[in-house]
Amino acid sequence: MQARDIAVNVPTVTVTDPVTKAVRVMVVGRLPGLIVVDGGMRPRMVLSGTQVLRLAVPGSYQEDPALARTIDETYADRFWQELGDLTVGDCLPHRPAKPVTVPLEATLLEVAALMTRLGSPLVAVVDGSGVLAGAITLERLLTSLAIAAPGD
């Protein structure tokens, strides 16, 4: 099997979408991450689920567990209401990593090796022009490998 055989369509976001929408798209789609595309549907970034969460957690709490512990429970339930109109682009790192992509003809072993190397449970599959053709989640990969193994 090749990446093209197991890729599925997933909802995407752009840098101008609000962070709150990005979180909602991921949760409603039960996705392990999100693909951020440009206007030409080319992947700009592939974010893991915790990287999407990171967009929504104020930076000061991310690195300082002691500070997060000082916040009372009621506020701690609502921290992300402070996000307001912040967009995905506002919260991305200034020097984003290369997006996690594979070509249509990548094997499942190549997809698995890329996921483990980059710690990304989501991979974008792109055509020869770099346009998004689909996505492979970790769950989809593992299910496909189980089907490919007739003896198991």
Distance of CA 80 to the CA centre of its chain: 19
The shares of helix, strand and coil residues in the chain, as percent rounded to the nearest 5, are 45, 20, 35
Task: State yes or no: residue 2 binds a copy of itself (CB under 8 A).
Answer: yes
Angle at the Cα of 17 (from 133 to 20), degrees rounded to 5?
115
Contacts of 88 (CB under 8 A, 6+ apart): 13, 14, 15, 16, 17, 18, 19, 22, 36, 55
Binding mask 56-95 for a copy of itself (x = CB under 8 A): xx---xxxxx--xx-xxx-xxxxxxx--------------
Q: Least distance (Å) from a copy of itself to the CB of residue 24?
A: 8
Piece in contact with a copy of itself (CB under 8 A), picked from 8-16, 39-47, 89-97, 137-145: 137-145
Count, residues near a copy of itself per rule CB under 8 A: 58
Tokens of 57: 């957690």
Q: Confirm if 7 and 25 have CB atoms less than 8 A apart.
A: no
Task: State yes or no: residue 18 binds a copy of itself (CB under 8 A).
Answer: no
Q: Least distance (Å) from a copy of itself to the CB of residue 75?
A: 8
Rounded to whole angstroms, the Cα distance separating 27 from 125 reads 21
User: Closest CB to a copy of itself among 37 and 55?
Assistant: 55
Residues near a copy of itself (CB under 8 A) are 1-2, 20, 23, 26-27, 30, 32, 48-51, 53-54, 56-57, 61-65, 68-69, 71-73, 75-81, 107-110, 112-121, 138-139, 141-143, 145-146, 148-149, 151-152
